[in-house]
């Protein structure tokens, strides 16, 4: 399938936008911000990824869709550096980061909101957010906190409470906010709608749409295939660790195989 790019303005942009690197805003026609070539990874004898290749240009949103066990989470963990790769390579802004430690990838601007939220329950909401900014200059943290609170007002209201007292949806907001505190050049979102009620799913996706409208580069791994593909510039369908289909979000939504297998149509 031919890859196409279709971007549209979104009226839900936050009143105080999060900072997007200026080089990222102008990168849509430049070399890819992210290029993955023949990526393989395994858990012991189980081969989880079997030669995945993918590209993302600055400002794009790329969706990864597929069933449980398809390799979506493993792929994002490989990008962030918490899962080792066994073959292929990862290029970020032209640099081969395949062997780079996770903390050094974060310092280069690759920030992840993980599957299952993984917030620090005993710590306050604000302390969780501050942990996401540990690589950033101290003088900008206060301003970035207010920007995150603007995106997620409920976190501002409860900022002094332990994170473990939040509902599942609020913890998801906290996980995304914590990733944003690292001022990502590439934001990795792993199953942000998992386990959420429909109204909360829409609230989370509204924030993702707003970040996309600002020009943030996003890789979104999501079982809610329709929601992910509807906002993505391009999508990749993963099956048992391989790329089964790729194309624009619109193309994949219209593909009969995708509609039958993942959209329930």
pLDDT tens per residue, range 34-66: 999 999 999 999 999 999 999 999 999 999 999
pLDDT tens per residue, range 220-240: 999 889 999 999 999 999 999
CA separation for the pair 229, 61 (Å, rounded): 9
Residue with the two structure tokens 């950033």: 136
Count CB-CB contacts under 10 A for residue 263: 16
CA distances to 38, 73, 214 from 242, rounded to whole Å, are 10, 13, 31
Question: And the tokens for 212?
Answer: 């996309």
Mean pLDDT computed over every residue of the chain: 88
Question: And the tokens for 174?
Answer: 């906290």
Give the pLDDT confidence score for residue 12 in this predicted structure. 36
Question: And the tokens for 225?
Answer: 């295939």
Give the pLDDT confidence score for residue 4 in this predicted structure. 33
Residue 15 — very low, low, confident or very high, per pLDDT cuts 50/70/90?
very low
CA-based R_g, the chain, Å:
17
Give the pLDDT confidence score for residue 213 in this predicted structure. 94
CA separation for the pair 49, 86 (Å, rounded): 9
- Rama region for 194: left / alpha / beta (φ>0; ψ in -120 to 50; rest): beta
pLDDT tens per residue, range 94-137: 999 999 999 999 999 999 999 877 898 999 999 999 999 988 99
CA separation for the pair 102, 79 (Å, rounded): 9
- Rama region for 62: left / alpha / beta (φ>0; ψ in -120 to 50; rest): beta
Residue with the two structure tokens 């026609």: 29
Confidence (pTM):
0.86
Give the pLDDT confidence score for residue 264 in this predicted structure. 65
Question: And the tokens for 99?
Answer: 């062997």
Give the pLDDT confidence score for residue 18 in this predicted structure. 53
Q: Containing H/E element for 35?
A: strand 34-43
CA separation for the pair 228, 204 (Å, rounded): 12
pLDDT at residue 20 tops 60: no
Which CATH number describes the domain made up of 24-261?
3.40.50.300
- Is 161:136 a contact under the CB 8 Å cutoff? no
């Amino acid at each position: 399938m031919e890859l196409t790019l279709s971007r549209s303005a979104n009226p839900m942009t936050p009143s105080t936008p999060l900072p997007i690197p200026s080089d990222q805003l102008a990168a849509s026609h430049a070399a890819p911000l992210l290029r993955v070539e023949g990526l393989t990874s395994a858990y012991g004898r189980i081969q989880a990824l079997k030669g995945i290749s993918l590209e993302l240009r600055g400002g794009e949103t790329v969706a990864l869709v597929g069933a449980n066990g398809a390799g979506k989470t493993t792929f994002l963990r490989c990008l962030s550096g918490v899962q080792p790769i066994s073959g292929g390579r990862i290029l970020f802004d032209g640099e081969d980061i395949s062997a780079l430690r996770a903390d050094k990838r974060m310092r280069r601007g690759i920030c992840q909101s993980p599957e299952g939220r993984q917030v620090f329950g005993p710590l306050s909401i604000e302390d969780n957010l501050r942990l996401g900014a540990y690589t950033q200059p101290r003088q900008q943290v206060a301003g970035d906190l207010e920007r995150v609170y603007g995106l997620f007002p409920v976190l501002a209201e409860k900022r002094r409470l332990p994170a473990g007292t939040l509902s599942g949806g609020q913890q998801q907001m906290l996980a995304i906010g914590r990733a944003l505190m690292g001022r990502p050049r590439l934001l990795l979102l792993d199953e942000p709608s998992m386990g959420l009620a429909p109204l909360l799913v829409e609230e989370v996706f509204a924030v993702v749409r707003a970040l996309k409208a600002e020009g943030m580069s996003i890789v979104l791994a999501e079982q809610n295939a329709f929601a992910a593909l509807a906002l993505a510039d391009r999508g990749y369908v993963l099956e048992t660790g391989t790329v089964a289909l790729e194309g624009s979000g619109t193309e994949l939504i219209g593909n009969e195989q995708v509609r039958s297998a993942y959209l329930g149509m």
